[in-house]
Chain A
Amino acid sequence: MKDKKRELLPYSLYDYDTYTRHFTKMAERGWLVEGTSLATWVYRRVEPRKRTFAVSYFAKASSFDPEPGEAQREFIDFCERTGWRLAATNAQMQVFYNESDDPIPIETDPALEVESIHRATKRMYLPFFFLLLAVSILNLFTTLDLSVIGKSTLKFLANGVQLFGMAANLLLLVMCAVELAAYYLWLRRARRAARETGTLAPSAGHRKFQIAMLAAALLLLASLPVCSLLYGGRPAAFIVLFMLVLLAVTCLITWLVRKGMMRLKMPSTVTMLATLGTATVLSVAVVATVLFTAIGSMDGALREDAEDLPLTFTDLYKGTDYRENIRRDGSPLVTSLTVLQFESPGDCLNYTLYEIKLPFLVKPLRNLILRDLEKDGTLDGDHYLEADPAPWHADRAFQMDWQGEPTDHWLLFYGGRILFFDTDGEAPQELMDTVASKLGGAASP
């Protein structure tokens, strides 16, 4: 029979009501909370009994303290005098329980209690959420700036990792904004209730939202490797899994550093700096490693399987001794395939095919690109001239133009497929027929 139990509680630091109720219920079931570890609350098995729980806030405490400081011990002594025993701490939050029938509450002045909670939240909780909010806004602006126009939008929507980053930042922004707004609303309500009625306002407000946010975050995290494998191919999935493993290792090492420093009884400031330093250095190392791996994959270290390509060099040209570079990206919205196969010297097959997966996105995404092309013939700085789509069996065809001269670069629209194709010289009708049937999905002429 297990004597320990762990639980993830996604509630706000100041939500004393929910924590108190939950710990009371757990104690009645025979589980007494005894601390926190790896972002979870830890319980030990005890005799099931009714115990009164209270959550108090001690602003001078820190999650980097090796053990309670003198001031905190004095506070605990005060509580023990009235029968309250410390069960667990989580940064400034102190969880006490009392086994007597009708104990004197730890806090008997609601106005002072509200200010105690506010002093505690100002230490870590509020700065943490404000910082996360700023980071999420910054990340969203950076991402949106890169993807507002033309081909970049397609690239962005076809990049599962970037799309995941955007969704994660959006989730983070909503979570932080709601958390901060809920806190300040509670603070206003609690101050007014303490002043006008001498009572403490209930703290529970958005528990269902917090549980939904946690579920959404876990779902998003799980979807990343799955989407990479489904739409991006094996190299992309490998990089994503590699990145997730590195991030998990980073979290574990950072946690071990903090625990180690606390075990060595280092001052809390030293432990905090060492923990933040470790997290920063490891995060930079993870980003560098992932970038290096991604670049390696482009150089062929993680070669993409060429077997299931819709159009290959041998479909158009005679040679077989060609070099290649293939890149797949994708998300549930858009997939992209870039193929470069060439003989040196000799023929060259070069195309990028975007496929819009969701029918309702086809029109807006096509229009986004066509809008710029129809306006001034430019797309991402390149100049195109509209051409007859009939030889390509396409809906619309554009040929890139360089200083008044047509080039070999074509932009072709086939329903939900958008194709950038290089003809490598004059395009015979046979080539255009093959491209239309293999890449455009058009019926063979």
Chain B
Amino acid sequence: MPRAKLQTLTEQMFYTLLCLREERCGIDILDLVPAITGGEVTVGSGTLYTLLDQFLTEGYIRETRVEGRRRSYILTKAGAELLEREYKRLTRQAEDYRKYFGGEEIK
């Protein structure tokens, strides 16, 4: 997968993994990502399909249920660690920002 084997995650990767903290099927993720981000982030159906396929291959998620064509997934331990690593990276960036701007708003 590009992005140096998931050294960092795109917003779409991040929210897809976040949605899979609970067991969900792909179609649910399409609705959930815009819902939890207030429409700031959307995942295209083709992009989501590719992401799920690659997360599955890399072992970051696992398939839990198949009902007809609806497949459900959940985050694995490796996926949770990846998500946590990304959270820490983003937090560190936010802290660096605060350190430099001290909570001021940029005018």
Q: Which residues of chain A have a CB within 8 Å of any CB of chain B?
A: 56, 70, 73-75, 77-79, 81-82, 84, 104-109, 111-113, 115-116, 194-195
Interface membership of chain B positions 1-27, coded 1 if the CB is closer than 8 angstroms to chain A and 0 otherwise: 111000000101000000000000011
Residue B46 CB within 8 A of the other chain: yes
Contact A116 B46 (CB under 8 A): yes
Contact B69 A105 (CB under 8 A): no
**Cβ–Cβ < 8 Å partners of B31 in chain A:** 81
Residue B87 CB within 8 A of the other chain: no
Q: Select which of A70, A74, A107 is within 8 A of B44 by beta carbon.
A: A107
Contact B26 A78 (CB under 8 A): yes
Task: Give the 6 A-B residue pairs with the shortest CB-CB distance, closest first.
Answer: A108-B44, A78-B45, A106-B46, A111-B2, A79-B45, A107-B46
B60 CB, nearest partner CB in chain A, Å: 15
Contact B45 A106 (CB under 8 A): yes
Closest to A80 in B: B45
Closest to A56 in B: B46
Closest to B66 in A: A70
Q: Select which of B51, B69, B71 is within 8 A of A112 by beta carbon.
A: B51
CA distance A81 to B50 in the complex (A): 16
CA distance A112 to B3 in the complex (A): 10
Q: Select which of A75, A77, A111 is within 8 A of B46 by beta carbon.
A: A75
A79 CB, nearest partner CB in chain B, Å: 4
Q: Can you pick out 28 interface pairs between chain A and chain B where the beta carbons lie within 8 Å of each other?
A: A56-B46, A70-B69, A73-B69, A74-B71, A75-B46, A77-B27, A78-B30, A78-B45, A78-B48, A79-B45, A81-B27, A81-B30, A81-B31, A82-B45, A104-B42, A104-B45, A106-B47, A107-B44, A109-B10, A109-B47, A112-B2, A112-B47, A112-B50, A112-B51, A113-B46, A113-B47, A115-B2, A115-B50
B6 CB, nearest partner CB in chain A, Å: 12
Closest to B44 in A: A108
Given contacts A108-B42, A109-B10, contact A75 B2 (CB under 8 A): no
Interface membership of chain B positions 39-68, coded 1 if the CB is closer than 8 angstroms to chain A and 0 otherwise: 000111111111100000000000000000
Q: Select which of A78, A105, A107, A115 is within 8 A of B27 by beta carbon.
A: A78
Contact A108 B47 (CB under 8 A): yes
Contact B46 A79 (CB under 8 A): yes
Contact A108 B27 (CB under 8 A): no
Which interface residue of B1, B2, B31, B71 has the most chain A CB atoms within 10 A? B2
Interface membership of chain B positions 68-86, coded 1 if the CB is closer than 8 angstroms to chain A and 0 otherwise: 0111000000000000000
Given contacts A111-B2, A112-B2, A115-B2, contact A78 B71 (CB under 8 A): no
